[in-house]
Amino acid sequence: MKAGEFIVLLMFFGDPVGLKEFTVREGLSECLSAKRTIERQIRGGRSKQHQSSLILSCRKMEVLVDTDYRIIEFVKPEKDNIRVR
């Protein structure tokens, strides 16, 4: 296990909207690229916006990860206190 600051892609959705998924990304540009790709797939076609409750966010966060860089624990802030900005 390793603790450190990583760029994390956060996915908020549901009713009520809450943090449901999160992954460590290689860097900010890769995170933003993944975010754009997901948003395009959700929109579909040439639509400019999607109608779902999905909110994506790339943030630099301190987390504890395993050897495959899967998040085990959020160090600061606690996972339950992460909010949509």
43-52 pLDDT, tens digit each: 776 666 656 7
- pLDDT score, position 61: 92
- Using alpha carbons, select from 21, 20, 23, 18 the residue that is nearest to residue 7: 23
The confidence score (pLDDT) of residue 51 equals: 65
Q: Is 26 helix (H, G, I), strand (E, B) or coil?
A: coil
Cβ neighbours of residue 18 closer than 8 Å, sequence gap 6 or more: 12
- pTM of the full structure: 0.79
Q: What sign does the dihedral 28-29-32-38 (CA atoms) show?
A: negative
**pLDDT digit string, tens, across residues 6-38:** 999 999 988 888 889 999 999 999 999 999 999
